[in-house]
Amino acid sequence: MSGRITRDEAAHVARLARLRFSDEEFDELATQLSAVLDHAADVEALDVTDIAPTSHPHPLVNVTRADEVRPSLDRDEVLAQAPSVDDGQFRVPPILGEAP
Amino acid sequence: MTALGIAAVVKSGERTALDVVDEHLARISQRDAEIGAFNLVLADEARTAAREVDAAVSRGDAVGPLAGVPVALKDNLCTRGVPTTCSSRMLEGWRPPYDATVVQRLRAAGAVIVGKTNLDEFAMGSSTENSAFGPTRNPHDTERVPGGSSGGSAAAVAAGFAPLALGSDTGGSVRQPAALCGVVGLKPTYGAVSRYGLVAFASSLDQIGPMAANVADAAACFEAISGHDPLDSTSIDGARDPVVAGLGQGVDGLRVGLVAELCAGSARLQDADGLDGVSAVEGVAADVIARVDAAATALEAAGAAVTVVSVPSAVLGLSAYYLVAPAEASSNLARYDGVRYGLRVDAANAAEMNVNSRTAGFGAEVKRRIMLGTYALSAGYYDAFYGKALRVRTLMLREFAAAYAGVDVLLGPTAPTTAFELGAKTADPLLMYLNDVCTIPSNLTGHPAVSVPFGGGDDGLPVGVQLMGPALSEPVLLRAAAVLEQAAPSGGGAP
């Protein structure tokens, strides 16, 4: 198995994805993700520069609707599912300060 | 009893919907401890809904085409006020504030929702072993997996817990478990069925589809749930051809193409011309290929013309999919941040709280896919991986369009093997991913495909064969599936 993803890279990606792993988990992930990327070598090796990308199976243009007022979700019902609520709003820990 | 048979006797008043639902609830309580198909059984709600159907029948009101039919819902479909977990600790106890469009349409058709079925967490997996609430077992052999990710829905239909179930299919998650459990599973055209209220995995690939014990029931369920929905901006607008009405029309004159790349070892490939240098996907078992060949012969006997067709990019599907789907998943699952719903594990600041919540709430496979997708989208790798995978998607669309210029439908296997033993593939993610190798192309192209049981493998377990077609070809796909159903040999027996 090639080491396509190093532990440092895995740690960087984990920071981007807001996930935390133990040393053991990082070792396993690096191996498993490298195996998937090895399999993807067939795609990586293709010369497809002249082919346009398809991000969606149907060619969609902007889908719009009439700008009309319509009912939205019930606020109390939505807030009832939140982990923490204060005065009709979602409550979170401080967002300023040092990032992890 | 079939779903359409139930609807007929409920409508005529011969049998009450309550009696029907009680019979199914009794089966669930007898055997689901062993199978584990359901995350939640909605006995009281189902009885209430059945009584409403019965009241409408006795008043002489019009009732829908699925009147009194018990239906099981994959637990990633939102049900208002009723827990919707995605088999994840992240959403344990979450009660959605709205119903999925398919849930509303099933109710409008008279169906009775009996419960929410187990899945691989957030629909990521091929065995229903990645569930936070334990695995589902295959009703044909409880030491084996039911497939996944809609394994709970497939097992529920196979065990007779409900004649109909809904699953979702992002890379084969309706068709592969249908094949392994010996039931019919349809992945509709992308946009044919509204995704509103389906918890998102990979938005350009996800599609909700019916699972049933027979083709006509699957067709009736598809008719009930499909159609334009303004709440899903990718929903296809416009009139559709009826499906159920044409099921008996047969396949006389239908042009069928056996996909060379999915059928290594087929006797038909050895006889075909112009296939030198064709590379096929690996790992499709000989007993599965034998069933596909037999299905081709059965279609010929019914008047279809079968040829061998090459779609070279089909072999690239797996690699492209495991870049595109995790990339979209990593973006979609960013919403689980511990703020508005789902698990929160608190910390001194919000960013740390996000990390704590996601680390505690997601299982290993979901984390693996988020990591893979985040990597594939990250600076320096985007063009090499995600960008190329999108270009492969274009290549596949072109090649399938070329194939459909010469044939009406394509034929191949659904899953590479019959149901495997629990734990057999959990240690090697790539080995598990290979289960999807035959089903993925239809997700990348957005085309419909159906798996229909066609006898058993060497181990006596069910084998499903897959029919694929161009966009909105569900009527012809299900018509051909009905022919195969009639011709299917015994084997793959009753669960």
Is B491's pLDDT higher than 70?
Answer: no
Q: Which amino acid would we find at residue B463?
A: V
Q: Using an 8 Å Cβ cutoff, are B42 and B113 in contact?
A: yes
B313 touches chain A (CB under 8 A): no
- Does one domain contain both B223 and B361? no
Is B233's pLDDT higher than 50?
Answer: yes
pLDDT band at residue B493 using 50, 70 and 90 as cut-offs: low
Tokens of B50: 């059945």
Distance, C-alpha B86 to centroid of its chain: 15
- Does one domain contain both B283 and B154? no
pLDDT in tens, B62-79: 999 999 999 999 999 999
Domain hosting A19: range is 1-47
Cα separation of A70 and B218, whole Å?
Answer: 34
Asked which of A82-96, B14-28, B124-138, B481-495 is least confident by mean pLDDT, the reply is B481-495
Judge: A57–B387 Cβ closer than 8 Å, yes or no: no
Looking at residue A31, which CATH number applies to its domain? 1.10.20.60
B2 touches chain A (CB under 8 A): no
Angle at B265 between CA B261 and CA B266, to 5 degrees: 80
B321 touches chain A (CB under 8 A): no
Cα separation of B306 and B310, whole Å?
Answer: 13
Whether residue B331 is contained in a domain is answered as: yes
Answer with the one of B337, B361, B384 that is the final residue of a domain.
B384
Q: Output phi, psi for B230, to 5 deg.
A: -65, -15
Give the mutation candidate from B124, B319, B399, B436 for the A interface (greatest A CB count, under 10 A): B319
Mind listing the pLDDT tens digit of every residue in chain A (100 residues)? Answer: 457 888 889 999 999 999 999 999 999 999 999 999 999 988 888 898 899 998 888 777 788 888 999 999 999 999 999 999 999 999 999 988 655 5
Domain hosting B439: range is 249-312+393-487
Judge: A51–B395 Cβ closer than 8 Å, yes or no: yes
Q: For chain A, how many structural domains are there in total?
A: 1
B337 touches chain A (CB under 8 A): yes
Query: What integer pLDDT is reported at residue B492 of this predicted model?
Result: 63
Query: By percentage, how much of chain B surpasses pLDDT 70?
Result: 99
Whether residue A73 is contained in a domain is answered as: no
- Does one domain contain both B95 and B146? yes
ipTM of the prediction: 0.93
Q: How far is A7 from chain B (nearest CA, A)?
A: 12
Is B494's pLDDT higher than 90?
Answer: no
Query: What integer pLDDT is reported at residue B273 of this predicted model?
Result: 79
Q: Which amino acid would we find at residue B223?
A: E
- Does one domain contain both B14 and B137? yes
Q: Which residue of A has its CA nearest to B367?
A: A19
* Nearest one of B202, B178, B174, B177 to B188, comparing CA atoms: B174
Strands, E assignment, A1-100: 85-86, 89-90
Which member of B234, B368, B446 has the closest CB to residue A29?
Answer: B368
Whether residue B364 is contained in a domain is answered as: yes
Q: For chain B, how many structural domains are there in total?
A: 3
Contacts of residue B470, defined as CB under 8 A and 6 or more positions apart, other chains included, come to B400, B401, B404, B447
- Does one domain contain both B288 and B181? no
Looking at residue B477, which CATH number applies to its domain? 3.90.1300.10
Burial class (CB in 10 A: 0-12, 13-18, 19+), B169: buried
Cα separation of B331 and B200, whole Å?
Answer: 10
Answer yes or no: B74 catalytic.
Answer: yes
- Does one domain contain both B161 and B104? yes
Answer yes or no: B149 catalytic.
Answer: yes
Burial class (CB in 10 A: 0-12, 13-18, 19+), B141: middle
Q: Is the peptide bond before A55 cis (omega within 30 degrees of 0)?
A: no
B302 touches chain A (CB under 8 A): no
- Does one domain contain both B96 and B238? yes
Strands, E assignment, A3-98: 85-86, 89-90
